Structure 1
Amino acid sequence: MRVRNYIKTQPLIFDGAMGTYYAELDSAGKKCELSNLNNRELILEIHEKYLDAGCKAIKTNTFGANKIYLESDFEKVKEVITKGYNIAVEAISEKDAFVFCDIGPISFVKNENLFEDYKDIVDVFLSLGGGNFLFETFSSDEYLKDLAKYIKSKNKEAFILVEFAVSPDGFTRLGLSGKKIFKELSNVEEIDAIGFNCVSGPQHLLDYIKNFDIEDKIVSIMPNAGYPTVVNNRTFFDNSSDYFANQMLKIATQGVAILGGCCGTTPEYIRKTVQKLKTFTLDDILKAEVILKSESNESKIENEFLIKINSGEKVIAVELDPPMNTDIDFFMKGAKILKSLGVDAITIADCPIARARVDSSLLACKLKRELNITSIPHMTCRDRNINATKALLLGLNIEGVNNVLVVTGDPVPSAKKDEIKTMFSFNSAVLAKHITTLNEEIFKNPFNICAALNVNAINFESELNQARKKIISGVSMFLTQPILTKEALKNLKLAKETLDAKILGGIIPVVSYRNACFMNNEISGIKVSEEITELYKEVSKEEATELAVKISVRITKEIAPYVDGYYIITPFKRIDIVERIIVEINKTKGYASNRK
């Protein structure tokens, strides 16, 4: 009998966790996939224990069978897959059960294309006669559509199940919405079933799928035993197998056709689940109660900054660095001055140069509450994971801060890497996509997502390609690095012609010859032309101030046709210089009349 026919009349129950159960039986700490080669009897025994518990599908012991995880060439990977598949087939030789070719996610580096690596793994299984495939614990749907199509082109009868690991709030570790992935892949003809496994326990996944439209879809749920506890560097799951089985019965009543266990689920968990579901058939499914979302009384907050720029008004945003201590007087006084000048927004860097400063989001909330100023806090991917970032975004949204600038973040200085550990578990494009999903699913007052554009990049075409990816991820506005060279101006023109997004041109006043040399040599992403640098040689501080204003105003006029506004970066707390530049901008013919 094929899988499709089986699940027409009854749920298909999988085995539990090979990895964590293997670790209980073998304390040597080896990668369990390698035991296909050197301890096949133990792997066979584990399969048989799950089958004796009553499961009707087992996964091959190949979850981590790839070159990256096994740290080997593909010949060894192929051997591990071959032996693993053959052990599973032997295990069911006298049983009425299915074997699923188990493929886990391959660790990746930025911009690496792994399709061929996955395809090589698939080809080994196909050559062995594998017809049922499980892609489990994925954090993204990248490659899965193409892999499903490839498998079906080789074996149109193949059954393909894909599962994603989501936290209790429904997001993968890359910040992608499990519900959105479910909806998209449910429409892919080549994918037969879709579901969730790992990370979350049964109650979390039960609550999660209650609001899903799973009618006419084959859904799979394979939770962890519960939340793990680490004792003496070993991971344990203390939850009850009886509790797990009861929750799995409730999950089945939601219309879930494929059930099983992930981390921490032993044969006992599967045995109890099978007993609970013994008399259960798909005809017994209770229609999940439809939970209607009540209309919120929360009032919508207009994004004034976005309204202005979309109406064609050239906006002005000014960056103020947050203080490195608790002395906030200068920052607040500067903000008040900028507000009096009609500045449209204040941007706040998030610990620039990877040095601890007052949190940009907290300052943004303070400006909103006390001065009613639009603020754009920078949000880096350097210091917090996706979960902490979501929590921060929720707080910002509640406070009425609805503009944010996403940046990957400066690296921690080499000398401090032993003291300070960075996160970097995602980049600005991934963060933008995560915020876009939250805009669609959670935020009543969606964020306007801004990002950085380096017009001084040596390979600007590559920078434009990255910008296009950010736009696809939900970025609608770019703030550029300072424009202080003819090449930067040329790149700005090109960006305006090719990017479907608003652009704020970067302006940073050069305050001295030393300052120009420092930016050229020490600040990534900033380039000061030799012509401008030479103007500051042997001039007084007063003369340098006049030059800073004059050059900055000249640049605003040069870039005006190619920008939707200006992004002025305050140098060394020199609000006086920024103030004079803004006054001059407002005097510009055809511009002052547009400002409110």
Structure 2
Amino acid sequence: MELREYLTEHKLITDGAMGTYYSRFLNNDSAVSEFGNLTEEDTIVNIHQAYIKAGAELIRTNTFAANRQTLNQTKEEQKELIKKAYQLAKRAVKKAKEQVYIACDIGPIPENGTRTEEDILSEYQDICNAFLEEGGDIFLFETFSDFYYLKPLVKYIRDKKPAAFIITDFCLNKNGFTAKGISARSILETIEETDEIEAGGFNCGIGSGHMYQILRKLTLPAGKFIFAMPNAGYPEQFRNRLIFMDNEGYFRENIQRICELGIDAVGGCCGTTPDYIKNMAEKLSLEESYRGERKVLSVMREAKVEVRPNEFYQVFKEKKKVVAVELDPPFDAKDEAVIACAHRLKETGTDIITLADSPMGRSRVDSVLMALKLHNETGLPVMPHICCRDKNMIAMRSCILGAYTNGIRNILVVTGDPIPSEHRQSTTGVFDYNSIQLMNYVKEMNREHFAQEPIYYGGALNYGRGPIEKVIERMEKKIEAGASYFLTQPVFTEEDIRRLEEIKAKVNTKILCGIMPLVSYRNANFIKNEISGIHVPDWVVEKYRPDMDKAEAEWVGADIASQIIKDLSPYADGYYFMLPFNRVSLMEKIIIK
């Protein structure tokens, strides 16, 4: 009987935590179970069989962390380990009296900012291919935080094997959110809307009591099978070891209550040994608790709320061209100069001040805090940049919540420049997110927390990076993630303008074109030769002389900027001014049409 047919008529019991029991087998808390596929074959088979004997009707292959980064393996070594894991699972179920299903277990690949999205997606596909070659037809993605890689992967599997049964499980915290800020409710809605996903739910992160509390508040989707596999509880430190308390009875009682909510499959994650599964399988009243009629999620969507207009975004509708000016926060605590610059910008008709987040990996005053001070001083809207380099998921959420409670409603989301090479031994880039992932996070926060007055956020547009089709593809991903507008790199050349013309014709979004009026011969040469991604042509440098005084050089920079603005005018929704050394006096010289 196929799994989908079985789930239609029965509740399913899965296994527990391979890693927990493997450590007990070897009496070694640091043992990595995935390596056991190659070095401890009999141990892995015995653990699978222990769960089956305890009552598990579905076991997961010992491959949760079988990615190249975690195990430090080559592509070939990884493939061998995954194929061996599936073979060992098949050995284990061979002696089972009843049918036992094998799920190809895939955990999240760590993302640290040094690997491209394409590379990570390719590795996921390699993992799927290894399972498919062994005949795998049930795929369980577990402990995920978002759908970013899952959406293309489930389509990939279905294209390769149309009959495959795909399960997507997510890791929640005690508040019912993933590490990427996605709510349990939103997860179930996406599962409902994704045809390729037949089952999904939650595993890991929380104990059975918290799992029940979260699930009981949710409306389950119609036409999908829902899985719940909580942890045994929360580990405690004991003699330098993290151990889970033995609470099989408490776990089983909560699983019983979870089943009564209409959940289709139950099992365990971290800390759940065969004793947990045995206690659960022997004492659950599955028949009495089997599925009642579910309410359909699609008719349970929350009512639309009235959204307050965003002061800055309204300018796009009211003015022909929007003017955003970037100020660099100071390197030290002396902020008088930047405050004076902000006051001067208010007099020039600037619509919004935007502040960089420690650009080029060199620490400055926090962009959000500096933005708040400038807003309080001037009353102008502000747009701090928030980059992914320096903050982990916890700090990022705190930063955004703090910004919001203090009135920030506009941000620019960027991945961030890498740490300068000379500091990489002592300073670590975080990169828990890239810009698109952080945008999706803010999008979810808007939905869950800021629905009446959401944060409007933009993205960086590096229009000169690679084929224009790829540039547009990345823009569209950002738009899908909720980006309302784009700020470009500085524009200097005719080629830059033509690329922006083509982009604007193909992408329906607001674009603020980057304008950088250079302020000296030295400044022009530095930007041309030292800053990647900005194309300063020779004719621009030749407009300056080494002996020019400050005033003359500023007028040259302003004249060049005015001409570029005129040429960009048919394609620009506004302009994003990057003023070297915060030279706001330039704004009084530049002609904006």
Task: Give me the TM-score of the superposition, normalised by structure 1.
Answer: 0.86
Please say if 1:566 is aligned against 2:575.
Answer: yes
Shift of 1:193: 1.8
Matches of 1:431 and 1:25 in 2, distance apart?
40
Please say if 1:86 is aligned against 2:74.
Answer: no
Q: Which amino acid aligns with 2:431?
A: F
Partner of 2:131: 122
Partner of 1:207: 213
Please say if 1:26 is aligned against 2:26.
Answer: yes
Matches within 5 A, 1:417-436: 417-436=424-443
RMSD: 3.2
Shift of 1:312: 4.6
Contact 1:175/1:431 (<8 A) preserved:
no
Partner of 1:325: 332
Shift of 1:197: 1.4
Partner of 2:477: 469
Matches of 2:286 and 2:549 in 1, distance apart?
90
Please say if 1:77 is aligned against 2:84.
Answer: no
Matches within 5 A, 1:279-428: 281-283=288-290, 301-428=308-435
Deviates more, 1:407-416 or 1:564-573: 564-573
Please say if 1:17 is aligned against 2:20.
Answer: no
Matches of 2:83 and 2:441 in 1, distance apart?
39
Q: Which amino acid aligns with 2:101?
A: V
Matches of 1:429 and 1:278 in 2, distance apart?
45
Shift of 1:347: 0.1
Contact 1:194/1:219 (<8 A) preserved:
yes
Shift of 1:64: 4.2
Alpha-carbon deviations, 1:172-219, whole Å to 9, x = none?
455555543432333445543211212333334333333432154321
Provide closer, same or farther for how the CA distance between residues 63 and 237 of structure 1 changes in structure 2, counting only shifts above 3 A: same
Please say if 1:532 is aligned against 2:536.
Answer: no
Q: Aligned match of 2:101 in 99, 102, 105?
A: 99
Matches of 2:173 and 2:437 in 1, distance apart?
17
Matches of 1:455 and 1:38 in 2, distance apart?
50
Shift of 1:16: 0.7
Q: Which amino acid aligns with 2:144?
A: F
Matches of 2:586 and 2:303 in 1, distance apart?
49
Partner of 1:494: 502
Q: Give secondary structure in 2 for the equivalent of 1:562.
A: coil
Shift of 1:568: 1.1
Matches within 5 A, 1:154-165: 156=163, 159-165=165-171
Partner of 1:588: none
Partner of 2:265: 258
Q: Which amino acid aligns with 1:41?
A: D
Deviates more, 1:274-283 or 1:240-249: 274-283
Matches of 1:66 and 1:573 in 2, distance apart?
46
Provide closer, same or farther for how the CA distance between residues 541 and 577 of structure 1 changes in structure 2, counting only shifts above 3 A: same
Matches of 1:250 and 1:478 in 2, distance apart?
48
Q: Which amino acid aligns with 1:453?
A: L
Please say if 1:479 is aligned against 2:481.
Answer: no
Partner of 2:58: 57
Q: Give secondary structure in 1 for the equivalent of 2:472.
A: helix
Partner of 2:587: 578
Matches of 1:232 and 1:323 in 2, distance apart?
47
Partner of 2:37: 36
Shift of 1:511: 1.0
Q: Aligned match of 1:194 in 177, 191, 200?
A: 200
Shift of 1:390: 2.4
Shift of 1:493: 2.0
Contact 1:10/1:281 (<8 A) preserved:
no
Provide closer, same or farther for how the CA distance between residues 48 and 212 of structure 1 changes in structure 2, counting only shifts above 3 A: same
Contact 1:40/1:87 (<8 A) preserved:
no
Shift of 1:555: 2.4
Contact 1:9/1:282 (<8 A) preserved:
no
Q: Which amino acid aligns with 2:80?
A: K
Shift of 1:245: 2.7
Structure 2: gaps of 5 or more residues: none
Provide closer, same or farther for how the CA distance between residues 207 and 125 of structure 1 changes in structure 2, counting only shifts above 3 A: farther
Matches of 2:61 and 2:379 in 1, distance apart?
59
Alpha-carbon deviations, 1:116-136, whole Å to 9, x = none?
42442232342xxx5544333
Provide closer, same or farther for how the CA distance between residues 132 and 354 of structure 1 changes in structure 2, counting only shifts above 3 A: closer
Please say if 1:556 is aligned against 2:560.
Answer: no
Deviates more, 1:266-275 or 1:256-265: 266-275
Provide closer, same or farther for how the CA distance between residues 293 and 161 of structure 1 changes in structure 2, counting only shifts above 3 A: closer
Contact 1:319/1:347 (<8 A) preserved:
yes
Q: Give secondary structure in 2 for the equivalent of 1:572.
A: helix
Matches of 1:238 and 1:578 in 2, distance apart?
66
Matches of 1:357 and 1:239 in 2, distance apart?
50
Q: Give secondary structure in 1 for the equivalent of 2:560.
A: helix
Q: Give secondary structure in 2 for the equivalent of 1:200.
A: strand
Deviates more, 1:162-171 or 1:311-320: 162-171
Shift of 1:331: 1.9
Partner of 2:449: 442
Matches of 2:328 and 2:336 in 1, distance apart?
13
Contact 2:326/2:578 (<8 A) preserved:
yes
Provide closer, same or farther for how the CA distance between residues 106 and 481 of structure 1 changes in structure 2, counting only shifts above 3 A: same
Contact 1:62/1:80 (<8 A) preserved:
no
Alpha-carbon deviations, 1:546-591, whole Å to 9, x = none?
222222223222222221111111211322223433xx43xxxxx5
Q: Which amino acid aligns with 1:100?
A: I
Provide closer, same or farther for how the CA distance between residues 506 and 137 of structure 1 changes in structure 2, counting only shifts above 3 A: same
Deviates more, 1:388-397 or 1:59-68: 59-68
Shift of 1:7: 4.2
Partner of 2:186: 180
Contact 2:383/2:410 (<8 A) preserved:
yes
Matches of 1:300 and 1:446 in 2, distance apart?
8
Alpha-carbon deviations, 1:441-482, whole Å to 9, x = none?
331212222111224446555333322322222212111111
Matches of 1:458 and 1:147 in 2, distance apart?
26
